[in-house]
Structure 1
Amino acid sequence: MEMTVYHQNFMLALRQQMGWPAFKPANDCIGWSSGAPMDTEVGMELARIAQMLGKDIVYSGWNSATARTTSGFSIAFRELLTIDIVDSLVPWAANDDEPIVLVSTRGDEKFGIDQRGTMVRTQGKPKNIAKGRKLALQRIKNAAAGMDDDLLANNRHVLPGDVSIEPEAATETLVRFA
């Protein structure tokens, strides 16, 4: 249970550090998930879930339930006609204040969240990836360390092929009048 909370808090911290709110935003188009290390089977399942949810998904793989470091990051990125599974991503931070982005170690691209809360894929890699990766991981770990030691009530375990993946209770979006 302790390690499941650790993995949950690690992903919640990544979410926070990438600029995604703790609540369900009006443009709820990104999902956050973790599980087994990325392989073809995991990628196919992640694409299926992204399609069912209608969301891009940020994913962290873990070698076991007791692992303290992730085996890697991936994204299920919805295109017009396909869902791209992009693996071998590393978190990167420009400084202590800017949102973290996920940088590809295979291609010349990175992924971040824009002002609308949409996952965006942009060309180019930042300079000094090693230094930015170290800073990003430290920011994620620090944010995770300050979180509660309880599993969130709306967490769910999705088995491969599950047809019901929606949470039981919907979380309402804040409505703001200007």
Structure 2
Amino acid sequence: MDMMLRHQKTMLALRQQMGWPLFKPANDCLAFGSGKTSDFEVGMELGRIAQMLGKDIIYSGWASVGATTPAGFTIAWRGLLTVDVINRALPYAANDQAPIVLVSTRCDEHFVIDQRGSLARVPGRPKSLGAGRRLAMKRIKAAAKTMGDELLAGNRHVPWGSDTIAPDTVPIETVVRFG
């Protein structure tokens, strides 16, 4: 239970610090998950789940049950024809107020939440990656401490290789604005 709560708090904190709301938004196109350290098998499963959910995924991989911080982050990003899996992404904060972004360690790119709430792939890497990573992790840990101490009702466990993923059971009304 402690492990699941630690994972939930970390991912809720990352979600909040990236600028994604803690409630289900109108453009519900992004999922957050956690589990074992990312490898080829995890990447394949994330790609499959992203396709089944119809959402991009930000995933934290944990080295052990007792680990207090994630070993790394992986992104399953849906393109028009493929699902790209970007592992070893680093959280980065330019300053105390800027939204956290995820930076690829393999390519010259980073991932941000755009104005529509979509996960956008942006060319270029921020400067001072080490300092920005330390600041981002400090902010994530501080925000995680403010998250509740109960597992959220909407959490779901996805069995490895499952053919189906149970839909959300709580209907949420979308706010519609006319302008």
Q: TM-score range by the shorter chain?
A: over 0.9
Question: For the Cα contact (< 8 Å) 1:24–1:171, is it kept in 2?
Answer: no
TM-score, scaled to structure 2: 0.95
Aligned position for 1:138:
138
Aligned position for 2:154:
154
Pairing 1:3–2:8 present: no
Q: 1:115 to 1:66 in 2, by over 3 A?
A: same
Q: Distance in 2 between matches of 1:95 and 1:87?
A: 24
Structure 2: stretches of 5+ with no match in the other structure:
none
Q: Distance in 1 between matches of 2:143 and 2:97?
A: 13
Q: Distance in 2 between matches of 1:176 and 1:72?
A: 37
Q: 1:25 to 1:173 in 2, by over 3 A?
A: farther
CA displacement 1:91-137 (0-9 Å, x = unmatched): 00011111100001111000010000011001101110111111100
Aligned position for 1:102:
102
Residue identity opposite 2:29 in structure 1: C
Alignment map for 1:1-150 (pairs within 5 Å): 1-150=1-150
Q: Distance in 1 between matches of 2:55 and 2:9?
A: 21
Q: 1:132 to 1:171 in 2, by over 3 A?
A: farther
CA displacement 1:59-112 (0-9 Å, x = unmatched): 110012221121100100001111000011100001111110000111100001
Identity over aligned residues, as a percent?
A: 58
Q: Distance in 2 between matches of 1:111 and 1:50?
A: 16
Counterpart secondary structure, 2:106: coil
CA-atom RMSD, angstroms? 1.2
Q: Distance in 2 between matches of 1:33 and 1:173?
A: 24
Counterpart secondary structure, 2:157: coil
Task: Provide the aligned length of Structure 1 versus Structure 2.
Answer: 178
After superposing on structure 2, the runs of 4+ consecutive aligned residues of structure 1 that deviate more than 3 Å are none
CA displacement 1:32-60 (0-9 Å, x = unmatched): 00011111111111000000000000011
Question: For the Cα contact (< 8 Å) 1:18–1:100, is it kept in 2?
Answer: yes
Q: 1:22 to 1:61 in 2, by over 3 A?
A: same
Q: Distance in 2 between matches of 1:32 and 1:135?
A: 21
